């Protein structure tokens, strides 16, 4: 057994990135400024998006979006339940109703067919998730959204660097990304909205900074009056330069880090292949580039004669950390009570929710770390 704890995720940060943060701290300008502007322009160049707006988290992006599209009572938002809680919470906070769609049992993504069945005259927004770095079947999903004239925004928290049919996620339509420490790149906390709709980008940019129509940096450098007025009430979600500068360094290495993640996932896939208690995800068969965000597997709880939670604690006893992406949202306390969600509603989501776990996966992991995880799994399952 290994003698040090292996976390399930760990940010990969270089000394040069740390020094760059230090430089910003010493520079006299630590909030949104030149580094924020450069990070946004680097993100545009990388994704091919017409415009990007950075904020303090992806959840802030969602809250700003909800305001920008006037999401409110009577509106429905189509979302998976196999996701992080952010979009569902923002939907509920807006007074709108989340409409949960079951995921595919083996890719954990929602399909165009399932989305179309969930559409009603009240549907205002569709937010599918590129799960674990695999990419949704966007041609089909875009066709359904267009046919019914409903806004589609991709939750691309797991998908920076991923591509669909040769096109980077974020280039077309609207997508939201996260720079939380476990994601493919980090700014400590942070997020971005990428869009090909300039009017929407401008509105998001204004709403994320008090609704002034300009942000702190613009006011200082672009000759706009500090007396700028509120055009409409907005939030305070601008990403400071001390964080943006970390993002600049991280983004320059995202392809390299994703390659390492891809190697680790490949190693796991091969080494776990012979263990029938471990059910791996199925990869979609259309053309896409995986962003290799999470190594998600399912435990066959019957064959293992053990619950997933017990399996996770057995791994922890062997110094192996794990994550849970995700406990389904619709059966969490608030959603059961406020929206009458009950077990049985989403069979494939619930099946996975009881069996899923994420194995350690981060760019600095070594071959020995991977072998330690596999050995611990075999030890628990008495292989």
Ligand X SMILES: *Cc1c(COP(=O)(O)O)cnc(C)c1O
Q: Which residues bind ligand X (CB under 6 A)?
A: 57-59, 83-84, 86, 129, 155, 157-158, 178, 180, 191
- Considering 183, 208, 271, 282, which one is annotated as catalytic? 183
Least Cβ distance, residue 21 to ligand X (angstroms): 19
Active site residue 183: yes
Q: How far apart are CA 8 and CA 356, in angstroms?
A: 14
Residue 138 near residue 164, CB atoms below 8 Å: yes
Taking residue 157's Cβ as centre, other Cβ atoms within 10 Å add up to: 27
Sign of CA dihedral 5, 246, 39, 42: negative
Q: How far apart are CA 121 and CA 241, in angstroms?
A: 43
Buried b (16+ CB within 10 A) or exposed e, 302-333: eebebebeebbebbeebebbbbebbebbbbee
Residue 193 near residue 64, CB atoms below 8 Å: yes
- Sheet containing 278-280: which strands, arranged edge to edge? 278-280, 295-299, 356-359
Buried b (16+ CB within 10 A) or exposed e, 190-228: bbbbbbbeeebbebbbbbbbbbbbbbbbbbeeeeeeeee
Q: Give the residue with the Cβ less far from ligand X, 118 or 324.
A: 324
User: 146 by DSSP, 3-state: which?
Assistant: helix
β partners of residue 66? none
Q: Give the residue with the Cβ less far from ligand X, 129 or 214.
A: 129
Tell the residue number behind the tokens 């943006």, with chain if given.
Answer: 244
Residue 12 near residue 249, CB atoms below 8 Å: no
Q: Give the residue with the Cβ less far from ligand X, 27 or 332.
A: 332
Q: Give the residue with the Cβ less far from ligand X, 58 or 215.
A: 58
The pair of structure tokens assigned to 337 is: 């009570």
Q: How far apart are CA 301 and CA 305, in angstroms?
A: 6
Q: Give the residue with the Cβ less far from ligand X, 157 or 312.
A: 157
Least Cβ distance, residue 32 to ligand X (angstroms): 17
The pair of structure tokens assigned to 148 is: 């019914």
Q: How far apart are CA 165 and CA 237, in angstroms?
A: 33
Note the maximum CA span of the chain.
70
Supply the residues annotated as catalytic.
183
């Amino acid at each position: 057994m290994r003698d040090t704890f292996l976390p399930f995720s760990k940010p990969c940060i270089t000394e040069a990135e740390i020094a760059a943060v230090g430089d910003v701290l010493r520079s006299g300008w630590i909030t949104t400024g030149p580094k924020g502007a450069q990070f946004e322009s680097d993100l545009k160049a990388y994704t091919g998006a017409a415009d990007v707006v950075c904020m303090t988290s992806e959840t802030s992006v969602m809250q700003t979006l909800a305001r920008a599209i006037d999401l409110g009572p009577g509106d429905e938002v189509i979302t998976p339940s196999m996701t992080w809680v952010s979009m569902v919470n923002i939907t509920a906070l807006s007074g709108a109703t989340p409409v949960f769609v079951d995921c595919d049992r083996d890719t954990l993504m929602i399909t165009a067919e399932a989305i179309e069945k969930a559409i009603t005259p009240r549907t205002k927004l569709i937010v599918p998730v590129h799960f674990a770095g695999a990419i949704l079947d966007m041609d089909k999903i875009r066709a359904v959204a267009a046919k019914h004239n409903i806004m589609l925004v991709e939750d691309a928290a797991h998908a920076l660097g991923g591509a669909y049919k040769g096109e980077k996620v974020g280039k077309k339509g609207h997508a939201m990304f996260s720079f939380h420490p476990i994601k493919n790149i980090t700014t400590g906390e942070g997020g971005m909205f990428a869009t090909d709709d300039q009017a929407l980008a401008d509105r998001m940019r204004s709403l994320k900074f008090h609704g002034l129509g300009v942000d702190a940096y613009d006011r200082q450098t672009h000759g706009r009056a500090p007396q700028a007025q509120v055009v409409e009430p907005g939030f305070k979600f601008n990403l400071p330069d001390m964080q943006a500068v970390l993002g600049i360094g991280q983004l320059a290495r995202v392809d390299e880090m994703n390659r390492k993640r891809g190697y680790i996932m490949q190693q796991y896939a091969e080494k776990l292949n012979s263990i029938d208690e471990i059910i791996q995800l199925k990869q979609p068969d259309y053309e896409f580039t995986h962003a290799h965000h999470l190594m998600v597997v399912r435990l066959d709880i019957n064959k293992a004669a053990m619950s997933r939670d017990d399996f996770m604690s057995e791994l922890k006893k062997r110094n192996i950390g794990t994550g849970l992406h995700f406990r389904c949202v619709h059966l969490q306390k608030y959603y059961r009570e406020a929206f009458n969600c009950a077990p049985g509603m989403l069979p494939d989501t619930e099946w996975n929710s009881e069996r899923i776990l994420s194995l350690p996966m981060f760019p600095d992991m070594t071959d020995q770390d991977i072998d330690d995880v596999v050995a611990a799994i075999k030890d628990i399952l008495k292989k």
